[in-house]
């Protein structure tokens, strides 16, 4: 079976079957990214088409200096941004889109907070709404990490930002998400069981 790099090289040489193999590898990932980015299955489908059209068109320019997956996600992030921009879905983010250099989280003392006992029944659905509520630059970070499973290094490479910025944005994103879920009343410490499924807690 061909490695991904071999598929890329064959695709660059015009092998459509090899490109189709790459589509199979990434189509669900990009669809998931688009769906969580826009909240719309139709937009996610559109995003997939656009991403793979761009990949198909520009794959000859992929210079193999970076991972192909990083390149795919970089293009995907751009297409998602275009889609969100078009729909003006980002017009009223819940959180402030502040500079990372001024990163600061006002943390509350949760010992006396009622939300720690919140219901978890609809948590998953609410999380989807929570993702949509995030400002774009936080949303893309959360999606790349939790939906696509990219490492901080890969995210930084895909978005052309420093790894420290990835950390601070992700922290802010999750805090805003936590605040959102708390406000809705759908988060509880008890919903976490044995570590993070799909995560890499040591």
d(CA 176, CA 120): 18
Strands, E assignment, the chain: none
Decide if residue 19 touches another protein (CB under 8 A).
Answer: yes
CB 77 within 8 A of CB 70: no
Q: In this chain, which of 54, 90, 95, 183 binds another protein, going by CB under 8 A?
A: 54
Question: Shortest Cβ distance from residue 138 to another protein (Å)?
Answer: 12
User: Of the two residues 13 and 196, which places its CB atom closer to another protein in the complex?
Assistant: 196
Task: Judge residue 23's burial from the number of C-beta atoms within 10 Å of its C-beta, 0-12 exposed, 13-18 middle, 19 or more buried.
Answer: middle
- Binds another protein by CB under 8 A, chosen from 25, 147, 161, 183: 147
Using the rule CB under 8 A, which residue among 41, 65, 137, 138 binds another protein? 41
Among 86, 98, 121, 162, interactor with another protein by CB under 8 A: 86
> How many chain residues touch another protein (CB under 8 A)?
90
183 φ/ψ angles, rounded to the nearest 5 degrees? -65, -35
Give the shortest CB-47-to-another protein separation in angstroms: 6
- In degrees to the nearest 10, what's the CA dihedral of 91, 44, 124, 196? -110
Residues 6+ apart with CB under 8 A from 136: 81, 84, 90, 93, 97
| Shortest Å, Cβ 140 to another protein | 13
- Least CB distance to another protein at residue 121 (A): 12
- Whether residue 132 contacts residue 139, with contact meaning beta carbons closer than 8 Å, is answered with yes
Q: Give the residue, chosen from 8, 36, 133, 184, that forms a contact with another protein under the rule CB under 8 A.
A: 36
**Which of the residues 101 through 140 are near another protein (CB under 8 A)?**
104-105, 107-111, 113, 116, 120, 123-124, 127-128, 130-131
Q: Single out the residue of 43, 140, 154, 157 in contact with another protein (rule: CB under 8 A).
A: 43
């Amino acid at each position: 079976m061909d490695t991904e790099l071999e598929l890329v090289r064959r695709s660059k040489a015009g092998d459509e079957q090899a490109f189709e193999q790459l589509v199979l590898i990434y189509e669900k990932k990009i669809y998931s990214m688009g769906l969580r980015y826009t909240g719309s299955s139709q937009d996610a489908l559109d995003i997939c088409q656009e991403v793979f059209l761009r990949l198909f068109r520009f794959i000859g320019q992929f210079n193999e200096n970076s991972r192909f997956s990083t390149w795919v996600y970089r293009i995907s992030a751009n297409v998602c941004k275009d889609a969100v921009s078009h729909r003006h879905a980002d017009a009223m983010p819940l959180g402030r889109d502040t500079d990372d250099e001024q990163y600061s989280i006002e943390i509350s003392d949760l010992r006396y907070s009622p939300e720690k006992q919140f219901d978890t029944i609809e948590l998953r659905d609410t999380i989807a709404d929570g993702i949509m509520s995030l400002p774009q630059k936080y949303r893309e970070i959360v999606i790349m990490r939790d939906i696509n499973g990219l490492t901080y290094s890969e995210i930084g490479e895909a978005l052309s930002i420093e790894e420290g910025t990835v950390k601070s944005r992700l922290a802010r994103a999750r805090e805003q998400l936590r605040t959102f879920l708390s406000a809705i009343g759908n988060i509880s410490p008890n919903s976490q069981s044995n570590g993070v499924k799909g995560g890499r807690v040591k």
